[in-house]
Amino acid sequence: MSRTYTVVLDPDPEEGGYTVTVPALPGVVTQGETVDQCIERVQEAIALHLAAMAEDGEAIPEEHEKPLLVTVTVAA
């Protein structure tokens, strides 16, 4: 069975590359230098996380609604 999750690649201006999180799976965090590397690593991290959840008898979360990213401007 395959599952689909939204992942967020947050650029790291100091170190370079990206930090990757999965909003539907709190605690799943990885990083990579390129987008392709991030995708490979997060797929592996998600698979390992879901396998551990299944082994522990936990329900596997489904992503029913996609996260919404918006940009706001504030006076500084």
Query: Tell me: the pLDDT tens digits for 14-37?
Result: 989 999 999 999 999 999 999 999
Mean pLDDT of the chain: 95
Find the CATH number of the domain harbouring 41: 3.30.160.250
The number of angstroms, rounded, from the C-alpha of 3 to the middle of its chain's C-alpha atoms is 13
Q: Under a CB-based contact definition with an 8 Å cutoff, are residues 53 and 60 in contact? A: yes
Q: What is the pTM of this model?
A: 0.87
E strands, the chain, where? 8-11, 18-21, 29-32
Which domain does 34 fall in, by range?
Answer: 1-76
Q: Residue 43: pLDDT above 90?
A: yes
Q: How many domains does the chain have?
A: 1
Q: Distance between terminal CA atoms of the chain?
A: 48
